[in-house]
Amino acid sequence: MKIQKLILAAAIVALAACTTENGTQTVIEKPQVKVEDGRFTPELMWQLGQLTEYAISPSGEKVVYGVKYIDMQQNKGNVELYVMSTTGGEPSRLTVTAASEFSPVWLDDNTILFCRDNSIMMIGADGKGEQVVGEWERGFEGFKLSPDKTLIAYISTIPVEHPEHISSLYRGLDKTTGRINEDLMYRHWDQWVDEIPHIYVAPFDGKKMDVSRAVDMLEGEPYEAPMRPFGGTEQYCFSPDSKKLAYTCRKKTGYEYAHSTNSDIYVYDIESRTDMNISEGIMGYDQNPVFSPDGSMIAWESMERDGYESDKSRLMLMDIATGIRTDLTTNFDYSVGNLCWSEDGRQIVAIVPYRGMYEVFAFAKDGSTIRQLSHGYHDVNGIILKGNDIYAKQVSMQYPPEIYHYALNDDKSAGKKLTTINDEVLAQVRMGKVEEYWIKTVDGKEMLTWLIYPYNFDSTKTYPALLFCEGGPQSMVSQFWSTRWNFAVMSGAEYFVIAPNRRGCPGFGTDWCEQISGDYGGLCMKDYMTATDFFKQNCKYIDPERVGACGASFGGYSIYWLAGHNEDHRFKAFLAHNGMFNFEQQYLETEEMWFDNWDIGGPYWDKSNPQVVKSYAQSPHLFVDKWNTPICVVHSEQDFRIVASEGMAAYNAAQMQHIPSRYLYFPDECHWVLKPQNSLLWHRNFIDWFDKWLKNNK
């Protein structure tokens, strides 16, 4: 089949990783890649460098950043650090090790701190004088340096302590694998909750960190700070005078934790070791605090409603002296994130999901103005503000992350590209064109839909197409780049991709985003059908008889739902990844109960609740008798959000009805497929499955 030829061709140019020897260890190096035919393939995707964390020097003249390269044979990657001028130019490599370096922090203009293994290290910006700053047996997940450079606040973990009546049952059983639980949230996302993160503050003399004197800010408390599964160093910050530390915490465990998103912002006094809740009374997520430059104010991201993880994220501002809180986004119908104060304290810069892109906005502290600083077919994220200069990680559907520069006085700027990590490889690739369409929905609204053209597009031919169903469900189909769902790979396999921002996607106003909750089988599904039919009828290059659909998470649910409502054979093949199949099963198997309680309405046994009755009636398993289309199911064992039995049940339902079907199962992946070889198998299977039903049966 055609897929086999593509795989073999790509393997020749891409799968031979470059390595060097450093002592007895092998260092994964940047590969030498030659693309023979300009096609972007899964193999090529995994040969690209992956920009990780970065930091700007105190003077603003230099940037340190990490780049990860993958060795497919070793099935792992390695991050090395580089330094370059913030005006651009050639970077200098700082590290050459088999271990990955992460969390770079500038000590001064000539010295960088970073993490490696269970150590915090120090190295000169010239790559010389590497030494150990501090070591900790439980390791570090990241750290921050206080403004006066006398303290380091790092993240590490503590073991979860079980009550004595449980611990006593394990005495003398050092080889048992059994787990005893008497509460909820005993596993989360992809991990059993055996340990939780805490923030430690340790003295630092400029060369050494005294870990023996480190203070656990939540000593004796069984709470997470930062919050799992995604929280990191962005969830806490030092005050400008280095005397206080603001942090995010949801002070709940077990049943309460599983049912609530109510986290708060606490201000911890380092000398007295006491803290104060400054967001008390706000019932949703409060997170990611940042002090103003003079220390008089704190800004943070705040959600209003408990249990709604996708509520509008407001820009909350508090005057520390008066305790007065102000929402700077009261009249702004979009969420904010990645907050940064301007040097003069008059503006707050943030990332905003805005009409299909993630853009940079500036909010005046007095609420007088809101300005859009960036604009383009891109996603801007990971911003750092240094004086008038804004640095960002930027991606699009056609290129992976690079560092870009913007300015505080910009007006819808396209930005200036600084790094060129993958330019040499991408210059050899012919990416499919991306077009923006605003399509009329069944209720007269306008829906942004991306259309991605196939590789080597020929206007004299027709092509198969794939409808991409977004996950989330409250997640925008933006100009993202991913090694999991990559539109360039789909285009490279010679498919059109139809990618709608259906009901439930943020970035198009609160009403549009909130319509999906409690109505999974409603307008959002009609949006998918509308977008598909629009391009079938209006794009003469798409063969209307060769359209498939794919998606993960809520997108996987969407595939199962569409499979049960495909009487007109709108779609000829499906692929569902880690999707919800049986809502009753899902409700009792997932771990974050607040999600199902909000979006589904609550437990299925609450028959008196009209939303519950409506939601569970939209469960895909109720429509399997109407399935009539080939379907591939993918699921992973370590997915604790939507457990593997959901995928097995869907696959078995297809098999028992003799519907052509395939099941791809990963015992060691989570809600995402992250390991390189697993990912490559995932992509090869994806292309092979759709080629089988949309190309080879033509």
Q: pLDDT by residue (tens digit) across 433-453?
A: 999 999 999 999 999 999 999
Percent of the chain whose pLDDT exceeds 70: 96
Fold for the domain defined by 431-694: Rossmann fold (3.40.50)
**Of 188, 577, 671, 683, which one is the catalytic site residue?**
671
Q: What is the mean pLDDT of residues 286-292?
A: 98
Q: Is the pLDDT of residue 126 over 60?
A: yes
Give the Cα separation of 319 and 575 in Å (integer).
51
Own/partner contacts of 349-353, CB < 8 Å, gap of 24 or more, are: 349/373, 349/383, 349/385, 349/390, 349/408, 350/315, 351/380, 351/381, 351/383, 353/476, 353/478, 353/506, 353/507
CA–CA distance, 644 with 556 (Å, rounded to integer): 13
pLDDT at 696: 81
Residue 694: C-alpha distances to residues 219, 312, 463, 532, 650 (Å): 58, 40, 9, 15, 22
Same fold, 140-162+186-327 and 431-694: no
Tens digit of each residue's pLDDT (9 = 90 or more) over 236-260: 999 999 999 999 999 999 999 999 9
Of these residues, 57, 156, 478, 553, which one is catalytic? 553
Using an 8 Å Cβ cutoff, are 303 and 286 in contact?
Answer: yes
Annotation marks residue 569 as catalytic: no
What pLDDT shows up at residue 14? 43
Query: In the beta sheet, which residues pair with residue 440?
Result: 446
19 — pLDDT class (breaks 50, 70, 90): low
Domain boundaries, the chain: 140-162+186-327, 335-421, 431-694
The whole-chain average pLDDT of the chain stands at: 95
- Give the burial string for 499-528 (b: 16+ CB within 10 Å, else e): bbbbbbbbbbeeebbbbbbbbbbebbbebb
- Alpha-carbon distance of 75 to 547, in angstroms, equals 34
d(CA 506, CA 63): 32
Strands 463-469 and 496-500 come out as parallel
The CATH fold assigned to 140-162+186-327 is Neuraminidase (2.120.10)
d(CA 232, CA 125): 25
Q: pLDDT for 48-84, tens place per residue?
A: 999 999 999 999 999 999 999 999 999 999 999 999 9
* pLDDT at residue 520 in the model: 97
Q: Is the pLDDT of residue 11 over 80?
A: no
**Residues whose CB is less than 8 angstroms from the CB of residue 185 and which lie 6 or more positions away in sequence, other chains included:** 193, 253, 254, 255, 257, 258, 591
Q: Is the pLDDT of residue 7 over 70?
A: no
Task: Report the C-alpha gap between 250 and 260 in whole angstroms.
Answer: 9
Give the tokens for residue 616. 């569970």
Q: What's the pLDDT tens digit per position in 632-689?
A: 999 999 999 999 999 999 999 999 999 999 999 999 999 999 999 999 999 999 999 9
Between CA 434 and CA 450 the distance in angstroms is 7
Q: Is 302 a catalytic residue?
A: no
Q: What is the pLDDT of residue 25?
A: 74
pLDDT band, very low/low/confident/very high, at 21 (cuts 50, 70, 90): low
Q: What is the side-by-side order of every strand in the sheet holding 542-552? A: 434-440, 446-452, 496-500, 463-469, 542-552, 573-577, 631-636, 661-666
C-alpha Rg value of the chain to the nearest Å:
25
- Which pLDDT band holds residue 26 (cuts at 50, 70, 90)? confident
Catalytic site residue 210? no
